Structure 1
């Protein structure tokens, strides 16, 4: 009897627990883009906090209002987030491929920051920031790019039904019993139409003739551009930051000669002994121009003068149109290669040989400007060889029989 009572009470409790409203169906999936993301109960910044998720966590999408999505976490917490802070499965794969390619790319120097700096998944201010650089942290510089400052357009995470709507054809209205009166004659052009049109001198241009005082058509405003830098952290993560927020970690006693130009890359070519103190020899690439597609317009080598105890220029070349990366050969470096655009517009790869920290060109051959990093993933995937389809058992047997026949024919 007691056992029956306990069983009845347990069933009653289970029934009470399962009497809640059913969960909304899952319409899609997405992944958390930023390092941390807060999920709110409603679409207001002051709404109650439902949960906090981390970068890469999977979310189930159960609703949508414009660019906002209602999501459900793995712990069944439900709330609203901004769709610009979400990544698709393809975005997560691209981010992983970007980190793998950046890990194998040559470093163009180290950089630090003045304050906490957001690292974005794409060269766009509104794209998710999935980690940050601290002021006491240094990162590797991999590449520089220019990108248009346009609104971030996230993918559609919820695929809507593409079935066309069936629209009922409107019934034709019955013709009136009394027909409509005919349209009247249009008014004539006034005699002073030239004065009314803003031509008080009475000048009538001939057919096809252009009026001198005709105002040019307004041109659409130019899209502003931002300079971005691809960086690599110690833990292997790679992302994009605004180039103007980085400080290249070259010593101040050398950086003071930049003459307001932006240092885009620098390298340690060796050292000079000055009374037991090793002083590095630096080479840098700088960009003095703004709004250009190339990454540097000057190369310069600073050698330490042990007699005068100061840095002096041992090599400089200006007026270049150079593209990163700069590839050094040897340890310590004995030569380096750069891709530049010559005056005739051709892209050439120059090889420089170092001779006592002085550089001279020893070779030129056809080169190619590196493609933007965001497009290289598409190029690699498009040019990757497709896997041959596996042969069926019938095709394998047929091939075996044909091979036996060829042997007997011999």
Structure 2
């Protein structure tokens, strides 16, 4: 019994090694840290590896296929952060797109809005994205002297920056503007991508790094009126000769970034078959609206849209309905009277 007990006490125990996920489009696994080295494998976004050794900013890892090699530690994310990114992607998939655009520069996707938040991916320049939401985060520029306010008695004011929650792809295979048919995250390695695949990603990106690409009519009208379009939705389509023309709702704001409201003005553009051009069917300003805006069909098939905005007693839901080319706000009293016939006394 003593021999058996000693065996179980001294037997080799399995050691739990940390795991991580590749957070870049591709990463080369090198044979060593020497200047003369050989590439052992090319890893792709979402592949899971086991971390064997870490030396400074370099890690020695083993792939699921048993290949070992070295790569930069900043190319990996820890499982906890990877799980949060999966949850954020699931949330993003359930949200309606508010606008479409592309990255103007190489842009970091972050798990939360703000420059200090953890990076989960890096989008190439010209990558197509869908904008889902917006918020504001504060940032002190590197040139700010934190001691100056104390000496002068003035309060240091941070810079307020727009951050956009976007949905895109983890590989360039989809190309700029390509936003369809992404592969689903696998069970064993969520989001792992072979070179020929495009895998969906979602995260927060600095707003001024994204160039929005509104449809021609919205772009032209917004430019001529000094409006900065932040969202647009197609309400319906109307016949025009041999084809159909979309009719749009757009939301915008005037001024620079960092504003408290996501948008302050909405417009509905309808197609005028007689003059063969888009016309403003409805406009409302003085709003303090919040994204997202959601479009749907009423019970009678008429287009409608709704969003949250600041009212007299806080945030309230505002519903609008479109009948032919006429758009009106539907209030709760109108909804109730439509559902319950009025009884005369």
- Please give the range of the TM-score, normalised by the shorter of the 2 chains: 0.5 to 0.7
- Which residue of structure 1 aligns with residue 81 of structure 2? 91
Q: Deviations over 1:34-70 (max 9, x none)?
A: 1212345449xx774644322222233344455x242
Distance 1:221 1:124 in 2: 16
The 5 Å alignment of 1:201-212 reads: none
- TM-fit CA distance, 1:73: 2.3
Whether contact under 8 Å (1:231, 1:238) holds in the other structure is: yes
- Which residue of structure 1 aligns with residue 167 of structure 2? 231
Q: For 2:246, which of 251, 276, 280 is the aligned residue?
A: 280
Aligned residues: 271
- TM-fit CA distance, 1:98: 2.0
- Which residue of structure 2 aligns with residue 339 of structure 1? 308
The 5 Å alignment of 1:6-405 reads: 28-39=18-29, 41-42=32-33, 48=37, 50-51=39-40, 52-64=42-54, 68-74=57-63, 75-83=66-74, 85-109=75-99, 111-113=100-102, 118=107, 120-122=109-111, 123=113, 127-129=119-121, 139-148=129-138, 216-223=152-159, 225-232=161-168, 233-234=179-180, 235=182, 237-240=200-203, 241-259=205-223, 260-289=226-255, 290-330=257-297, 333-342=302-311, 344=312, 346-363=314-331
Q: State the SS of the aligned residue for 1:61.
A: strand
Q: Deviations over 1:179-233 (max 9, x none)?
A: xxxxxxxxxxxxxxxxxxxxxxxxxxxxxxxxxxx97424345155343232254
The structure richer in strand per residue is: 2
- TM-fit CA distance, 1:333: 4.8
Q: Deviations over 1:221-255 (max 9, x none)?
A: 51553432322542161313443344444322331
Whether contact under 8 Å (1:149, 1:226) holds in the other structure is: no
TM-score scaled to structure 2, two decimals? 0.66
Gaps of 5+ in 2: 1-14, 142-149, 169-178, 185-199, 334-345
* Structure with the greater alpha carbon radius of gyration: 1
Distance 1:131 1:254 in 2: 26
Distance 1:150 1:48 in 2: 42
- TM-fit CA distance, 1:71: 2.4
Q: 1:226 to 1:49 in 2, by over 3 A?
A: farther
Distance 1:303 1:216 in 2: 55
- Which residue of structure 1 aligns with residue 336 of structure 2? none
Q: Deviations over 1:131-183 (max 9, x none)?
A: 65856xx54432223344589xxxxxxxxxxxxxxxxxxxxxxxxxxxxxxxx
RMSD: 3.5
Q: 1:227 to 1:101 in 2, by over 3 A?
A: closer
